[in-house]
């Protein structure tokens, strides 16, 4: 076995050991190591065990969770209302601009036709 594959194998074993320590389902796969490897890895297994013991989840204060949750819910409601209002505003604005453009093009077309007719009748008179 090469040094690279050795290291990869050690990483796999240590990862499986860590998963077993935290009780993850994927850790059910067996940690296959020889006795010699187990002896070599023993200090790292032990260190991982100490880490697991020392790093317990820490619970936030219930009052903090509750008050932050309430604040966030209020902010979320305001944010959603503001977004909806803004979307409505953008929609109304776009519709207004669209209508103005349509009216302007109709007026422009009328002016164009009228001026053309006038020009034609003026040419006939001459």
Tell whether residue 31 is a contact of another protein (CB under 8 A). no
Tell whether residue 68 is a contact of another protein (CB under 8 A). yes
- Considering only 77, 85, 88, 118, the residue that binds another protein (CB under 8 A) is 77
The residue count for the chain: 126
CA nearest neighbour of 48 among 16, 28, 21, 8: 21
76 versus 101: smaller Cβ distance to another protein: 76
With helix as H, strand as E and coil as C, how does 30-83 read? Answer: CCCCCHHHHHHHHHHHHHHHHHHHHCCCCCCCHHHHHHHHHHHHHHHHHHHHHH
Tell the smallest beta-carbon distance from residue 97 to another protein (Å).
24
Of 21-29, 30-38, 97-105, 107-115, the segment contacting another protein by CB under 8 A is 21-29
Residue 37 Cα distances to 12, 40, 45, 50, angstroms: 13, 5, 11, 20
Tell whether residue 42 is a contact of another protein (CB under 8 A). no
Binding residues vs another protein (CB under 8 A): 7-8, 10-12, 14-15, 18-19, 21-24, 26, 43-44, 47-48, 50-61, 64-65, 68-69, 71-73, 75-77, 79-80, 83
């Amino acid at each position: 076995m090469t040094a690279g594959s050795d290291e990869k194998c050690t990483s796999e074993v240590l990862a499986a050991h860590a998963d077993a320590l935290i009780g993850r389902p994927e850790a059910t796969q067996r940690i296959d190591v020889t006795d010699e490897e187990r002896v070599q890895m023993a200090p790292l297994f032990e260190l991982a065990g100490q880490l697991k013991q020392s790093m317990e989840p820490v619970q936030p204060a219930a009052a903090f969770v509750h008050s932050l949750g309430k604040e966030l819910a209020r902010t979320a409601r305001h944010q959603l209302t503001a977004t909806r209002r803004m979307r409505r505003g953008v929609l109304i604005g776009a519709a207004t601009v669209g209508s103005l453009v349509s009216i302007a093009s109709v007026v422009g077309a009328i002016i164009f036709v009228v001026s053309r007719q006038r020009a034609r009748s003026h040419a006939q008179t001459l």
